[in-house]
């Protein structure tokens, strides 16, 4: 048995039995949930829309690149496939700790993230029981596993509840050269599909608002490098977000509330075509 086989077997055994039962429950509850409010975004050249019972419109999110550091089994590092999704403990809301026997913990300004998933074709209904894999760089702009091989923090899978909300506890990401501050995510139909690393329904990204990022970078010493780096990047030049209209850009932007001292709460919504 290879190390990958062992981790896959142990990860599934540790994470899935209770989640399978929970997924069935929240999916059933979500079928009767109320529609969510407006969520607009592009979907390539075609825009797919839905209208909720309250008359609000939701649009499908666009697919965006996973980038070079997904650790979801789709690329390699040092000649080996990298897949944190088969590690036991990857299904968790607090992604600041490392897992799989690694110990480093991500430091930085706390960020509580709530992502609401909605079904565009089914009257913008909330999607419960879905799995969201979220990953990001740390306060110093480094991605775990790739830029720091002794850690795998700031990567994890959360399951959406009956209201379609997937929750994460993380830190405000740093800003590295060439990219605006952002987080990556993939959406899967279930916990089982997420840990298999196959069949993502959507791979995309969220940007973070400038004012809050600058407030963090200016006041927290851990983000010192980002304070200078953000001066050399902009949403208008970012390789992912630069082709978005103002309406589209607003939809791909997390909304933050809070302060650099106590931390922030971020909210965003994702429209899916199921």
- 3-class secondary structure for 221-261? HHHHHHHHHHHHCCCCCCCCCCCCCHHHHHHCECEEEEECC
pLDDT at 212 over 90: yes
Domain of 157, CATH number, reads 2.60.130.10
**C-alpha–C-alpha distance, residues 46 and 26, integer Å:** 31
Q: How confident is the model at residue 21 (pLDDT cuts 50, 70, 90)?
A: very low
pLDDT in tens, 50-97: 676 676 677 788 889 999 999 999 888 888 889 999 999 999 999 999
Residue 47: pLDDT band by 50, 70, 90 thresholds?
low
Q: What is the mean pLDDT of residues 259-269?
A: 96
Tell me the pLDDT tens digit for each residue of 197-208: 778 999 999 999
What is the model's pLDDT at position 107? Answer: 98
User: Over pLDDT 90: what percentage of the chain?
Assistant: 65
What local confidence, expressed as pLDDT, does residue 46 receive? 56
Token pair recorded at residue 262: 């106590």
pLDDT of residue 80: 86
What value does the mean pLDDT of the chain take?
Answer: 83
Model pTM score: 0.83
Residue 19: its pLDDT value, please?
Answer: 36
- How many folded domains does the chain comprise? 1
Looking at the predicted structure, is the pLDDT value of residue 270 above 90? yes
For the chain, how long is the longest CA-to-CA vector?
55
The residue range of the domain holding 210 is 3-272
Render pLDDT for 165-188 as a digit per residue (tens, 0 to 9). 999 999 999 999 999 999 999 999
Asked if 253 and 209 count as a contact pair (C-beta separation under 8 A), the reply is yes
Q: Which two three-digit tokens encode residue 248?
A: 């589209």
> If you search the block for the tokens 């709530």, which residue do you land on?
114
Residue positions counted in the chain: 274
**Would you place residue 33 in the very low, low, confident or very high pLDDT band (cuts 50, 70, 90)?**
very low
> Pick the residue with more confidence: 156 or 5?
156
CA 222 to chain centre: 22
Q: pLDDT tens across 109-156, in order?
A: 999 999 999 999 888 899 999 999 999 999 999 999 999 999 999 999
> Where is pLDDT greater, at 130 or 248?
130
HSE value, Cβ hemisphere, 13 Å, CA-based, for 84:
28
């Amino acid at each position: 048995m290879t190390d990958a086989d062992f981790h896959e077997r142990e990860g599934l055994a540790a994470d899935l039995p209770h989640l399978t039962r929970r997924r069935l429950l929240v999916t059933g509850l979500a079928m009767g949930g109320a529609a969510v409010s407006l969520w607009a975004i592009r979907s390539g050249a075609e825009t797919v829309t839905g209208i909720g019972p309250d008359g609000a419109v939701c649009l499908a999110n666009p697919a965006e690149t996973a980038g070079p550091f997904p650790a979801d089994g789709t690329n390699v590092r040092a000649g080996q496939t990298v897949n944190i999704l088969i590690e036991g403990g990857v299904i968790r809301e607090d992604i600041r700790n490392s897992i799989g026997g690694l110990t480093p913990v991500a430091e930085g300004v706390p960020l509580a993230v709530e992502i609401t998933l909605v079904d565009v074709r089914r009257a913008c209904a909330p999607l419960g029981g879905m799995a969201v894999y979220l990953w990001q760089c740390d306060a110093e702009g480094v991605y775990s596993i790739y830029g720091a091989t002794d850690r795998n923090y700031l990567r994890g899978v959360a399951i959406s509840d009956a209201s379609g909300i997937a929750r994460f506890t993380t830190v405000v990401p740093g800003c590295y050269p060439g990219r605006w501050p952002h987080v990556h995510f993939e959406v899967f139909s279930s916990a089982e599909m997420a840990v298999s690393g196959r069949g993502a329904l959507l791979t995309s990204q969220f940007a973070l608002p400038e004012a809050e990022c600058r407030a963090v970078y200016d006041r927290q010493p851990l983000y010192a490098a980002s304070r200078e780096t953000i001066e050399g990047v902009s949403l208008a030049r970012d390789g992912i977000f630069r082709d978005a209209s103002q309406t589209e850009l607003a939809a791909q932007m997390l909304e933050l509330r809070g302060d650099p001292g106590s931390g922030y709460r971020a909210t965003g919504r994702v429209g899916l075509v199921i």
